[in-house]
Amino acid sequence: MRVDAKQGRLLDARQVASPNHDARPEAASIDLIVVHGISLPPGQFGGPHVTAFFQNRLDPGLHPYFRQIQHLRVSAHLFIDRAGGLIQFVPFTRRAWHAGESRFHGQPDCNSRSIGIELEGTDSRPYTDLQYRRLVEVIRALREAYPAIDEHILGHADIAPGRKTDPGPAFDWRRLRRELATGPSGPGAPQA
């Protein structure tokens, strides 16, 4: 998996443009990955709804919950579905609108310095092996392209406590850290 840092593109991801982004501040350095969880409608997986939501095309008539969120303008850099499918919505060179009101190391506005990765899931249902495998591949590629990230990989709940809970208790942080630590030849590494 490779990142074109100049273009801000993950070369292995399907590219689907979201209008929900803006310029990063000039002094901002990408030094944080924020892991999120999302399912639309809540608790349901598959289908086009997350993509439509990030493109401001979610039809509020399809589900009562969609009427509650139709006014929101949000995005993430990446989305990993339950089967490990990967979509990029916003170039890494741009500020995606994923974190909202947030703080990291005492500094507000995590959107300016972070890459947001949405996993298709809920706080209470385990994420899939394919999602962990893909997430490890993505994080390794991002760390190579943006070395300041280092170990700064947090959940949305960590940077917006009390306001957000995702990716939730169902996300296995120990597993992620273990698989990241095993190196490219370890059990979490991509197979040729």
Q: Which domains does the chain have, with CATH numbers?
A: 3-20+28-181 (3.40.80.10)
pLDDT average, residue stretch 61-82? 97
Q: What is the pLDDT of residues 78-100, one digit of tens each?
A: 999 999 999 999 999 999 999 99
Q: What is the pLDDT of residues 152-161, one digit of tens each?
A: 999 999 999 9
pLDDT average, residue stretch 168-190? 79
Residues contacting 91, CB < 8 A, separation 6+: 7, 8, 9, 21, 77
State yes or no: is 118 an active-site residue. yes
pLDDT average, residue stretch 69-80? 98
pLDDT of residue 184: 53
Active-site residue among 101, 118, 137, 179?
A: 118
